[in-house]
Amino acid sequence: MTKKKVSTGTHVLGTIQTKQIKKLQSLSQVKKHISKAIKQNGFHELGSFYYQFPGGKGFTGVICLSESHVAIHTWPELGLLTLDVYICNYSKDNSKGCKKVFEEIAKFFEPEKIKVKIIKR
Amino acid sequence: MTKKKVSTGTHVLGTIQTKQIKKLQSLSQVKKHISKAIKQNGFHELGSFYYQFPGGKGFTGVICLSESHVAIHTWPELGLLTLDVYICNYSKDNSKGCKKVFEEIAKFFEPEKIKVKIIKR
């Protein structure tokens, strides 16, 4: 009998710098973009919660997937956002898809610089 | 003029092993416990989304805070859960509070073993 190898997946943690301050301030456009990136890579959004801070202070959001989660927090005053994409390996190795979802969401913000940590969980 | 130091906070990523399989299967009790841990450490829950998988397959949840997020995903069949607590440093250094929230949520599951990574973001 072989014991099932325990791996709970891949987590990409990023800090993204951008000059697109308006994109960091308003969540109206990005929600659709995030949902599309998740769906196009074969993952499943179960639900989400987003919050728009008042007075141009940015937004924050958490998206719950069958395959774990995505989280986004923006700081327009610093010209940056943090982005987490954690995709589990429940049925198969999803590490490539995890990185693709991260890249596709990041692209929306026209990054000047991206700092990334990739963690096997 | 001194430039504001950019630090977006502390993120604790944990994998917790437990024999409390029933606690991994049902989210009814843990929701209140998570909300309490957040509030008691001075942080603010804006909203959340939880999902109970059918047939005892565990649950998944994302909790959106003014100070970033908490995320939890359980695998009863493996006897484990992953827990993320990411607390930003918007107004002050919240690294101690971040670790406390993690510990208080973890305690609920009566851990046999905890594997933790702490990342400064």
Give the CATH architecture of domain B21-120: 4-Layer Sandwich (3.60)
Report yes or no: B96 at the A interface, CB cutoff 8 Å.
Answer: no
Could you identify the residue written with the tokens 């909300």?
A: B35
Q: Name the residue ranges covered by the structural domains of chain B.
A: 21-120
Q: Domain spanning A16-120: which superfamily? A: S-adenosylmethionine decarboxylase (3.60.90.10)
Q: Across the strands, what pairs with B75?
A: B80
Contact A15 B88 (CB under 8 A): no
- Report how far residue A101's alpha carbon sits from residue A79's, in angstroms, rounded to the nearest whole number: 21
Q: What pTM does this model have? A: 0.93
Cβ-based neighbours of B4, under 8 Å, separated by 6 or more: A78
Contact at 8 Å (CB) between A12 and A102? yes
Q: Do B86 and A84 touch (CB under 8 A)?
A: yes
Q: Does residue B120 contact residue B7 with C-beta atoms inside 8 Å?
A: yes
Nearest neighbour of A62 by CB, restricted to B69, B117, B121: B69
**Burial track B25-60 (b if 16+ CB lie within 10 A, e otherwise):** bebeebeeebeebbeebebebbebbbbeeeeeebbb
**Residue B75 with chain A: CB contacts under 8 Å:** 8
Tell me whether B117 touches chain A (CB under 8 Å): yes
Convert the pLDDT of each residue in B53-100 to its tens digit.
998 899 999 999 999 999 999 999 999 999 999 999 877 888 999 999
Looking at residue A2, its pLDDT comes to 44
Report the distance separating Cα B74 and Cα B57, nearest Å. 8
CA geometry: angle at B117 spanning B97 and B110, to 5°? Answer: 70
Of A56-60, B15-19, B98-102, minimum mean pLDDT range = A56-60
Query: Could you report the per-residue pLDDT of A63-100, keeping only the tens digit for each?
Result: 999 999 999 999 999 999 999 999 998 778 889 999 99
- Catalytic residue, from B33, B64, B73, B95: name it: B73
